[in-house]
Amino acid sequence: AQKITQTQPGMFVQEKEAVTLDCTYDTSDQSYGLFWYKQPSSGEMIFLIYQGSYDEQNATEGRYSLNFQKARKSANLVISASQLGDSAMYFCAMREGQTSYDKVIFGPGTSLSVIP
């Protein structure tokens, strides 16, 4: 069963506009972490933002913010003031487990294209 769902295979956004990338997840663990990564065409995975399951505040990192709705098991990424360099694949990922179990699962990804 897929644990991470990203329902938008591809998205377009106008430069300088904000965009929301959707992510829903499924876990029975109480302790887990949610991550967003960016993968440009060069292939390198770049860490963007993290939200812990016990964090009460939504995470923010510069132009990136995470809209965390725990009851809905949703962790959407919001990119404000899009730039051309934001064009890339974006992966939502979940890390769950205790000390003897450490696994990271990635969603299928969303391809974002920023239009000048």
Partner 1 sequence: DTEVTQTPKHLVMGMTNKKSLKCEQHMGHRAMYWYKQKAKKPPELMFVYSYEKLSINESVPSRFSPECPNSSLLNLHLHALQPEDSALYLCASSQEPFGAGGSYEQYFGPGTRLTVT
Q: Where are the alpha helices (DSSP H) in 1-116?
A: none
12 binds partner 1 (CB under 8 A): no
**CB nearer partner 1, residue 46 or residue 84:** 46
Using the structure block, give the residue that is written with the tokens 């430069």: 15
**Is the distance from CB of 27 to CB of 96 less than 8 angstroms?**
yes
When asked if residue 46 is in the footprint of partner 1 (CB under 8 A), the reply is: yes
50 vs 30: CA distance, rounded Å: 16
* Given 21, 68, 109, 114, the residue binding partner 1 (CB under 8 A): 109
Instruction: State the minimum distance, in angstroms, from the CB of residue 14 to partner 1.
Output: 24
Amino acid at the residue 101? Y
How many CA atoms lie less than 13 Å away from 63 in the CB half-sphere?
Answer: 12
Determine which residue in the list 13, 79, 96, 114 makes contact with partner 1, applying CB under 8 A.
96
Using CB under 8 A, pick the residue from 21, 79, 91, 114 that binds partner 1.
91
Binding interface with partner 1 (CB under 8 A): 31, 33, 35, 37, 42-47, 50, 52, 91, 95-109
